[in-house]
Structure 1
């Protein structure tokens, strides 16, 4: 497939934080929701998990879980800025997402963040609001992967943990692909067992093309290939994306200007990944239209849509929502990708040069940290 990027001259290289190594310091802060008392044992277990992996772990002040957010917006933004610009901190990982990470954006010192040596920022859900904004405005790579409270889970091959990916040297490449199984419903009760570290992956499934006539959308197939695909499908571009409900608030703002990001950093084009956290299908369609009208897919070479448990809307399904907005795009749209709110989770590096390859027998996504 030919590139559909913004040009080939004058691209500004992405900046990657140094690889994580044992002994590095990882900071924990909650830029959105904090941790309530009944989940503090899970937080403690996850901190100990990082320490057993050889990392020094420090806890920030913004972790209070008694309200919707962990602290006032200015305080959360100030702590995040301090941690991301502290040369002794190698990575910052929130406990999980929440609802109002967007409140931080007017308070972040973007000049200080851009001038500092890069630090890994990791997470998904509401955290993706900050990941995408940081990468698009500063050109610093960020990681869409497990939040802290998910980090102890063993990630099944061919997926990778964010801890393993961020330990790779700049310039390295790594390849992932569809998980053979996912969790169809429910979540582990961390209150009952704060030490759980094995996913319950009880349902087979794989990735599918939106226009694949062989896929019924039942989610019960076990085939890892694409029998309706003729030949080999390839797409190449820089990864960018996040949770549909939260990153859509960035459309049309300086924090979510993907056309500018493509022009400055991605002459190869963009592979845009998105996933629905929980809103019903008609709401997801509206969010996606906001992104499309803001030019988010203008330079896309492919669009990856995460597997979701979000509800349908009176016969209008989540697949219908995707089709209504993206069905006319002249690029491949891949469904049921392992990213977001249905475990397990791919590690996706915002800004990484990625290559998607799909054949009748296999699917791979390779990311290059350059």
Structure 2
């Protein structure tokens, strides 16, 4: 299926139907209270929300792999559903990628799929195999948080073709624990910072976005579900901007994973690499930044560090497949996405 041009779902509008299902981890207790609040908020904003059967935290996933794959396929193929947003990621969404009905998906019109973390495992192959644009941004649990200055909410990005301009927010934040307040809407600030550029004095590049969470995507490299090298060849004229973020693995593990992506050809058609902020641990001998440079520094590509694209909120939504321009020059730090 690789080789198709990017197809964008219809712009998301209030009144549209949003599907909620758990392709990876489910929710219970205070976590389910949070998800119920998020659904309530979407409905208050005018969306018609349909909730799937697979939502409970019965184990490490919300149910058997085939059942999760079937429910996700059904929602993505349903012409009445404009967008599917899971509650959050999890650990083992890789168990369903080969169980999705890829032929049915290929025959359907594109539907927005939104999320990050373990959902990267599904977002990336839907873009590389089907040519559907997918949205790496907030999960459902994050959606009620107020969007900081400079950034856009995922619904704003999904609502039109752009140009969607986002700028360095300068904010490092964290979540409010569900047990403390399942109805929280304000990020808890923990610091300030900004994007940093390595390998160039300034940067102004354009390319197709592709990427996600390192820990989950590294397991797809070398399989039909993570063939970013082929995706790069398809878009060789425009080239790629590859973005990655570490969720929680230590620096040596991230280093190994990034080397694996490099050896799998993920950066052969890249113009730049974007790296998300992370709280993942360093080791005594290796920092997270040095892990990136050890694996990717030899590529002679500019690397932008500390973007809001991962497990340190707030979140800067990126659309897999979108044509993006990244500028880092003096005080100007921005990314512009065109959904065309």
| TM-score normalised by length of structure 1 | 0.89
**What is the alpha-carbon distance in structure 2 between the residues aligned to residue 211 and residue 267 of structure 1?**
23
- Bigger proportion of residues as strand: 2
The alignment partner of 2:63 has SS state of: coil
Secondary structure at the aligned position of 2:208 is classed as: strand
Of residues 117, 124, 143 in structure 1, which corresponds to 2:116?
124
Who is 1:196 aligned against?
Answer: 184
1:94-143 Cα offsets, whole Å, 9 max, x none, are 00000010011110111111110110000000001100011000000000
Where 1:327 maps in the other structure, the secondary structure is helix
Give the whole-Å Cα distance in 2 for the aligned partners of 1:266 and 1:58.
39
- Could you tell me how far apart the structure 2 residues matched to 1:94 and 1:249 are? 21
Q: Check conservation: 1:17, 1:118, Cα contact below 8 A.
A: yes
**Greater mean alpha carbon deviation, residues 260-269 or residues 193-202:** 260-269
Q: Give the CA RMSD over aligned residues.
A: 1.2
Indicate whether 1:257 and 2:227 are aligned.
yes
The residue correspondences of 1:243-282 to structure 2 (distance < 5 A) are: 243-282=213-252
Q: What does the per-residue CA deviation read over 1:143-162, in whole Å, with 9 as the maximum and x for residues that have no partner? A: 00000000000111211110
How many angstroms does 1:192 deviate by?
Answer: 2.0
SS in 1 for 2:13: coil
Q: 1:220 maps to what in 2? A: none
> What does residue 13 of structure 1 align with?
5
Equivalent in the alignment of 1:95:
87
Which segment is superposed worse, 159-168 or 80-89?
Answer: 159-168
Shift of 1:65: 0.7
* Deviation (angstroms), 1:235: 1.3
Residue 21 of structure 1: CA displacement?
Answer: 0.9
Matched with 1:314 is: 284
Residue 207 of structure 1 corresponds to which residue in structure 2? Answer: 195
- Give the aligned partner of residue 167 of structure 2: 177
In 2, Cα distance between equivalents of 1:150 and 1:264: 34
Map of 1:334 onto structure 2:
304
Asked if 1:162 is matched to 2:132, the reply is no
Instruction: Give the superposition deviation at 1:265.
Output: 3.9
Task: Please give the secondary structure, in 2, of the residue aligned with 1:321.
Answer: helix
Residue deviations 1:237-268, cap 9 Å, x none?
10000000001111011111112112224521
Cα displacement (A) at 1:12? 4.3
Aligned to 2:117, the other structure's residue is in SS state coil
Paired position in structure 2 for 1:285 = 255
Indicate conservation of the 8 Å contact 1:182/1:344, yes or no: yes
Residue ranges of structure 2 left out of the alignment (5+ in a row)? none
Aligned residues of 1:237 and 1:266 also touching (Cα < 8 A): no
- Give CA-to-partner distance per residue, 1:184-241, whole Å, 9 cap, x none: xx541112211100011231100001347xxxxxxxxxxxxxxxx3xx4211110000
What residue in structure 2 maps to residue 38 of structure 1? 30
1:22/1:55 contact within 8 Å kept: yes
**Matching residue of 1:301:** 271
8 Å Cα contact 1:238-1:266 kept in structure 2? no
Query: Structure 2: how far apart are the matches of 1:90 and 1:355?
Result: 27
Asked if the contact 1:90/1:119 (under 8 Å) is kept, the reply is yes
Q: Displacement, 1:77?
A: 0.2
In structure 1, what is the Cα distance between the partners aligned to 2:32 and 2:99? 28
Q: Which runs of 4+ in 1 moved over 4 A?
A: none
The one-character-per-residue Cα deviations of 1:254-291 (angstroms, maximum 9, x if unpaired) are: 11111211222452111000000000000000100110
Distance 1:160 1:122 in 2: 14
